[in-house]
């Protein structure tokens, strides 16, 4: 007699884009996957299919509204993923399109987004026109709390949930799941098209696997 795997919240970061390669912050900009990013997404799909074959059931499948995340979901075999606006990447405001090194040079500091936020650079220095001042880390954490609330019913019923999104918002989502300060997300690097697993152990929320490469 076989038993179903324990319920998990599985996180998939979108595949490679030109801006993920260059290190430019990509929030609201809809930068497409590179050809290699598409290969990564398909490879992530193979990994996910193996988990399904082993008995994992994804009752809830969600995706960020950004095209790079939706395309990753599609190529991974989950083209029916439901868009959840709360999974959109951090709105970087004036930091959009800039690298950390560029922001550090302009501010004269060793800028780090989880510690310093996105308001360190004034809108007059924005790399691309942007209509907002951007989000705070607390804003992003509030959105991830809503994602957790949405997927919990499936997990509590013994099924799993799967989300396709972005590096920073998924790192914050992990801290929300674990009950840690959102700033802890600075310690949780995520590669493109990586797969991570959150779950339960001994009655508490746990980190069961992190930043597993898709293999492409």
The residues carrying an active-site annotation are 14, 89
Query: Mean pLDDT throughout 157-178?
Result: 98
pLDDT at residue 63 is higher than 90: yes
Summarised one tens digit per residue, pLDDT across range 66-109 is 999 999 999 999 999 999 999 999 999 989 999 999 999 888 88
Summarised one tens digit per residue, pLDDT across range 8-39 is 999 999 999 999 999 999 999 999 999 999 99
Complete domains list, the chain, with CATH: 9-91+135-210 (3.40.50.1240)
| Interacting residues of 145 by C-beta distance below 8 A, sequence separation 6+ | 176
Q: Which residue from 65, 77, 86, 64 is spatially nearest to 163, judged by alpha carbons?
A: 64
The predicted structure's pLDDT at residue 2: 42
The predicted structure's pLDDT at residue 214: 86
Q: Decide if 23 contacts 99 (C-beta within 8 A).
A: yes
d(CA 61, CA 178): 20
Three-state SS string over the chain comes to: CCCCCCCCEEEEECCCEHHHHHCCCCCCCCCCECHHHHHHHHHHHHHHHHHHHCCCCEEEEEECCCHHHHHHHHHCCCCCCEECHHHCCCCCHHHCCCCHHHHHHHHCCCCCHHHHCCCCCCHHHCCCCCCCCCCCHHHHHHHHHHHHHHHHHHHHCCCEEEEEECHHHHHHHHHHHHCCCHHHHHHCCCCCCCEEEEEEECCEEEEEEEEECCCC
CA distances (Å), origin 53, targets 46, 71, 76, 176, 212: 10, 23, 15, 29, 18
Summarised one tens digit per residue, pLDDT across range 124-152 is 555 555 667 899 999 999 999 999 999 99
pLDDT at residue 121 is higher than 90: no
The predicted structure's pLDDT at residue 51: 94
């Amino acid at each position: 007699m076989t038993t179903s795997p324990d319920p998990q919240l599985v996180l998939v970061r979108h595949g490679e884009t030109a801006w993920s390669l260059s290190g430019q912050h990509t929030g609201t900009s809809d930068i497409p996957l590179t050809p290699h990013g598409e290969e990564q997404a398909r490879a992530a799909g193979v990994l996910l299919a193996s988990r399904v074959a082993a008995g994992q059931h994804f009752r809830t499948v969600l995706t960020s509204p950004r095209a790079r995340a939706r395309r990753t979901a599609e190529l991974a075999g989950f083209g029916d993923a439901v868009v959840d606006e709360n999974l959109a990447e951090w709105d970087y405001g004036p930091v959009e399109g800039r690298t950390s090194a560029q922001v550090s040079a302009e501010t004269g500091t060793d800028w780090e987004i989880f510690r310093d936020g996105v308001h360190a650079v004034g809108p007059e220095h924005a790399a691309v026109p942007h209509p907002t001042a951007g989000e705070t880390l607390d804003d992003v954490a509030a959105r991830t709390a809503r994602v957790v609330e949405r997927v919990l019913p499936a997990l509590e019923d013994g099924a799993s949930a799967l989300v396709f999104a972005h590096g920073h918002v998924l790192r914050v989502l992990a801290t929300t799941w674990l009950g840690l300060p959102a700033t802890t997300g600075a310690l949780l690097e995520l590669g493109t098209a990586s797969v991570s697993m959150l779950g339960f152990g001994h009655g508490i929320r746990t980190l069961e696997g992190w930043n597993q490469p898709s293999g492409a």
